Every structure is written in C-alpha cells, then in structure tokens.
Chain A
Amino acid sequence: MFTKQRLINLSIIIAAIWFTWFAQNHFDEYTVRIINNVAIFIILAVSYNLINGVTGQFSLEPNGFVAIGAYVTAILTVDAEGMLYQYDLEDPAQWVLALQADFVWALLFSGIISALLALSLAFPVFRVRGDYLAIVTLGFGFIIRIITINVPAVTNGSLGINDIPEHSNLYWTCGAAIIAVVVILNVIYSKYGRAMKAVRDDEDAATAMGINTFKTKTLAFSTSAFFEGVGGGLLAALLTSISPDLFTFLLTFQLLIIIVLGGLGSTTGAIIGTILVMAGLEWMRFLDEPMNLFGYQTEGLPGMRMVVFSLILIVVMLFAREGLMGKKELFELKIFKKKKADK
C-alpha cells in the first residue's frame, strides 16, 4: 500500500502544494510573477518533451498549440461588452460574442481544442519522419500565426485581444503544473509510455514488435497538445493581453533550449531546465542593458540575451549532447500506479 517510493512521491506533491500556498501568501509580486511564468513553462516544457524527447518525434509545433489555447481562453473569458469595445479592425463575429465560460472551463476547452486539432493533424503530419516532420510542424506554427492575423472578426487581427481577466495566480499555474507533471509521468510509465520510448529508439523494431506506431505517436502528440493548450490559456490569463507576435517560433525555440538543456526525454530534466533557463533569462537581463566593461562603457544591446542563449544551445549540442539528465528521471511520481513499474 504505502511503499517507500510512493511516500516520497506523495511528500513531493504535498511539498509542492505547500510551496504554492506559501509563495502566494508571502512572496513579493515580482517573485510571484516569475514563479507563475516558471510554472506555465514547466507545463509547456514537460508536454513538449513528451512528443519530442520521449517519443522522439522532432516536432516544432508548440507555438501553434499555445497560440490556440491562449486565443480560446481569451475569447471565452472576455465578455461580449469588452470585445465590442476593443475589436477595432472588424466587428467580432456573433458566435465569438456569444461564447462565454468560466475560467476552468475555458482552460479545459483550450486543451481539448488543441488536442482535437493535434488528432486531425496527426494524419498528414505523421506520414513523414525526422527532418520532414520538423519542417511540416514548423510550417503549421506559421499557418496558425498567419490565420490569427487574418481573421480579425475572431482574433482582432494583429492587434490581439487585450483586457483578458487576470485569473492566473499561483494556485492555478502551479496547480496545473503539478497535474500536468503527474499525468505526463503516469503516461510515460504506462504501457503507452513504453511504446513511445520504443518508437523513439527504433521505429522499425517497434513496428515489428506489434506496436502501432501511428497510434502511439498520435497519443503523445494529442496529450502534449492538450497541455500546451492549457498552458497557453494560463499564459493569456497571466499576461492579460495577447497578440500573434507572442507566438512566434521564438517560443518554440525557448522550449527547445529548455528540454535540450534538461536532457531530451527526461521529465525531471525538463523541469530543471525550465527553472534554469527562466532564472537565467531573468539574471541575464543585465546583458541587454548598458554595461561597464573594464572601464569601457557599452550602450544597451537589446537582444544580447538571445545571442548568448543560442550560443548556449550550440555549445550544449556540441559538448554535452545528453543535457543535464540524459534520459533519466530524478524521481518517479507513480502514486496512481499499483505495482512497481520498470523503467
């Protein structure tokens, strides 16, 4: 009933919940903001890692699904009055005005719509493998962005949606992050998860062993799309204003650095990577500002952070390809599992 492993897992979850409560009540606004951000990116990174690291399908789509989640949540939570007020380019469509839901339903819908889209996309996307998959999913992100710009009746075009009710607080973001991590770890340790790893290691051998590779890939794709959609919804409710420019390839790139740094295929690696990269991005803000280098005053160089980050990605790939964790996990959160699962 209460094995040692399960007790450890349970105490980690309780500690995480306690930390959320403590942070929400005692930390200053700036720290809370950063923790909110980190929690959302943990959701995104862990779910991106499921398709990219665990299943080994090099896909570059998360910005598309995050955008969909953000827009669905925005449309569902902004009331009709607020929409009529801020849609400048074109009057909002009637159904957009009519849609209205509580935040929790908005988040769920964001996830479900992303997942359904992933499900329908799986048919064309998984006809190709490897590099082609990367470029097709990258194109998908572009198409989503171009659509959000070009249907002003729904998305207010390039102006984006503003005045989204600020629902996201630590209970929502950290709560969703804990759920996402527990669910995804349970997927990874289930028989489906083992099938995903088999597909990653050798797709032909996996097929030969009777694994339906298409089904496996689609499951991973839709699961990760669901949580990316939810993450997008939380992001919209945290930022309170969204526009197509938020969901460029830069977002995918950031997530890619996170999971590569943490170790492709490791969920704990993805979490540690998120904390390191997000903290690093905050800390490296000084790079963008004017500096005093050995008595030589440089002007502010906005964007220097991203230069350094791309260099970090290249260096990690050249010298430490496995990332921090490789494919290993730090802990195994398997509280819902009856018997001890093998790795």
Chain B
Amino acid sequence: MDILTFMQQMVNGFSLGSMYALIAIGYTMVYGVLRLINFAHGDIMMVGAFLGYTFMAVFNLPFSLTILLSVVFAALLGILMDKIAYKPLREAPRISLLITAIGISFFLENAFTVFAGGVPRAFPVPSYMENIFNVAGLTFSASSITVPIVTMILLLAILYVLYKTKYGMAIRALSFDIKTVNLMGVDANMIIAIVFGLGSALAAVGGIFWAVNYPSVEPMMGVLVGLKAFAAAVVGGIGSVTGAVIGGFIIGFTEVVVITFFPELGGYKDAFAFVFLILVLLFKPTGIMGEDLEKSRF
C-alpha cells in the first residue's frame, strides 16, 4: 500500500461519503422535528434518480436543468407524502408513524417495480462528468470532484437556512416542542412541510449523483443506500446536520478503506455500516455530535 493508492482511496471515500451525507441530512432533519425515522427517505432518493433518468433519457434535457427539475418534483413528493400519510398521525403514537413510513417505502418500491420494471436501466451520464483528470499521479473523475463540492455547498446552504433565517429558527424551535411553537403563532404544519421538502430535495440530488457514479437506476436502489445513510445519521448524532455530514463521511471512508485493506471482506461491505451503527450505539448512544436521546439503559 503506497501513499498514492491511499490518497486515491481517500478521494473515492470522500466522494462516496458525500453522497451518504446528502441523504443523511434528510433523515436527521425529519428526525429532529418529528422524531420519525422516515423509512421512505431512501426511496425518495430512488425516485429522484428515476426523475433524473426520465428528464435526461426521455425528454433529453441538459444535466443542470434535470437536477433542478428533479429537485423540485422530489420536494413536492416529500411534501405530499407528509400531507397524506404523516400529518393525520401527528397525535398518534410514534410506532404508528414508523409503520406508516415502512408502508410508504414499500409502496414506492413496488409501484416503481410494477410501472418502471425491476430491471436496472442505464443512466445517461453526461460526457463531461466522465472526464478524467490526472493530478500528481492521482486520477479523479469529474463526478468524484463535483459530488463533494456540491455537497459542501448544499450543506452550507442548509446551515444558512437553519441558523440565519426565520424559517430555520422555526425549524429549530419545532425540534424542541411542536405544541408550544404552534401557540407562538408559527404554522407548524407548514414548517414540517418545508423540512420534508428540503430533505427530499437533497435526497434527489444524492440519488442523481449516485446514478451518475454507478450509472444505473432501479426501484430497489434506495433501500440499502437509505439504510446506510440512516446509520450515518445516527453515527454522526441524529438531529444534527453537521453530524449527519460527518457520519456520512465516516461510513463512506470506512467502506472504501476496509475494502482496500482487506479485499477478502469485500462481500461484507454492506454490513459495515450496521456493525458500526451497533458499536456506536453501544459506546456512545447519542452519536458523535449527539443530541439528548431518550433515556436508554438496561
């Protein structure tokens, strides 16, 4: 293992990690406000990738416009999901919400399998995303640079919204106490819709980038990625946006590094995130940037 290979793997880990991070932000924001693991979030990412596929392969739109349109539609889908399925359950026990989320996740997966077919479709990657650069012996593809940069920009944008705007203040307030915030004259339902919209938009970006890096789309693509992104959100400390990004990078790096150093463990790569998750919950149940968790003890 020379330093060059190591650096190369770091670049790959950075790129993979930022995709996990993009999706983890959505989990962490919804969890922060509603205390709900939105099991359907990974499937929103899948829908985002499918929207990207549709706009590019069917309507022949340029990549930038595709991302913009997919983000808008995915955000609308997220808001719709909240209005139809989660809003009527605001006062219900959280288990009901969780079961509903699993139901929606299965609905999206199966509906796409029925109407789009279960066979993976090739994603039309724009040629400039496939350009290869050589810098000091390292090989970068354009996408492996674009993805982390876009993630960083989006993260800064989200942090700006959360900490510098009125809506962000409302979101943060909601994560403490929905009822009281409602009494203070904030329309809690609208703010929750914004959270779902923002999270889904980021998931759509993540989905399109995922489809660019592994150029295919299929209805089940969001399941494993979504779960790993959730693991990332918990590792980073669920409820914290920065934590989600850190967690995403940790999971991405671990996956890449373990496979590079222990190629014989390659078959187990999908299990790392969960093993990591269980270990983190064992030793630091609140994650790295952890917020207050429900009391947990034997």
List 16 contacting pairs A-B, 8 Å CB cutoff, sorted by A: A56-B95, A127-B285, A129-B294, A129-B296, A132-B293, A135-B231, A135-B277, A136-B278, A138-B227, A139-B274, A147-B268, A213-B298, A256-B102, A314-B104, A318-B85, A321-B92
* Cβ distance B206 to chain A, nearest Cβ, rounded Å: 19
Looking at A9-17, A269-277, A296-304, the stretch in contact with chain B turns out to be A296-304
Q: Is A104 an interface residue (CB 8 A)?
A: no
Of A147, A150, A301, A317, the contact of B114 (CB 8 Å cutoff): A301
How many A-B Cβ pairs are below 8 Å? 124
B271, A142: Cβ atoms closer than 8 Å: yes
Given contacts A142-B227, A260-B99, A317-B99, is CB(A132)–CB(B110) below 8 Å?
no
Interface centre among A138, A147, A301 (most CB of B within 10 A): A138
B102, A132: Cβ atoms closer than 8 Å: no
Q: Is A58 an interface residue (CB 8 A)?
A: yes
Could you give, for residues 270-314 of chain A, a 1 whenever the CB lies within 8 Å of some chain B CB and a 0 otherwise? 000000000000000000000000000000011110110111011
Roughly how many angstroms separate A304 CA and B113 CA in the complex, as a whole number?
9
Interface centre among B102, B282, B293 (most CB of A within 10 A): B102
Q: Is A211 an interface residue (CB 8 A)?
A: no
Given contacts A127-B296, A135-B37, A317-B100, is CB(A310)–CB(B234) below 8 Å?
no
B270, A142: Cβ atoms closer than 8 Å: yes
Given contacts A128-B285, A139-B278, A142-B271, is CB(A318)–CB(B104) below 8 Å?
no
Q: For chain B residues 273-298, which have a beta carbon within 8 Å of chain A? A: 273-275, 277-278, 281-282, 285, 293-298
Roughly how many angstroms separate A140 CA and B223 CA in the complex, as a whole number?
15
SS class, residues of chain B in contact with chain A: helix
* Cβ distance B295 to chain A, nearest Cβ, rounded Å: 8
Q: Is A80 an interface residue (CB 8 A)?
A: no
* Cβ distance A216 to chain B, nearest Cβ, rounded Å: 11
Q: Is B36 an interface residue (CB 8 A)?
A: yes
Of A264, A306, A318, the contact of B88 (CB 8 Å cutoff): A318
Roughly how many angstroms separate A1 CA and B36 CA in the complex, as a whole number?
51
Roughly how many angstroms separate A309 CA and B102 CA in the complex, as a whole number?
12
B106, A317: Cβ atoms closer than 8 Å: no
SS class, residues of chain A in contact with chain B: helix
B275, A134: Cβ atoms closer than 8 Å: no
A131, B37: Cβ atoms closer than 8 Å: yes
Q: Is A210 an interface residue (CB 8 A)?
A: no
Roughly how many angstroms separate A314 CA and B89 CA in the complex, as a whole number?
11
With a cutoff of 8 Å between Cβ atoms, the chain B residues found around residue A142 in the complex are 224, 227, 270-271, 274
With a cutoff of 8 Å between Cβ atoms, the chain A residues found around residue B102 in the complex are 253, 256, 313
Could you give, for residues 120-131 of chain A, a 1 whenever the CB lies within 8 Å of some chain B CB and a 0 otherwise? 000010111111
Q: Is A116 an interface residue (CB 8 A)?
A: no
Q: Is A143 an interface residue (CB 8 A)?
A: yes
Roughly how many angstroms separate A309 CA and B107 CA in the complex, as a whole number?
8
* Cβ distance A17 to chain B, nearest Cβ, rounded Å: 35
Roughly how many angstroms separate A318 CA and B101 CA in the complex, as a whole number?
11
* Cβ distance A71 to chain B, nearest Cβ, rounded Å: 17
Given contacts A150-B268, A303-B110, A310-B106, is CB(A134)–CB(B274) below 8 Å?
no
Given contacts A139-B231, A214-B298, is CB(A146)–CB(B281) below 8 Å?
no
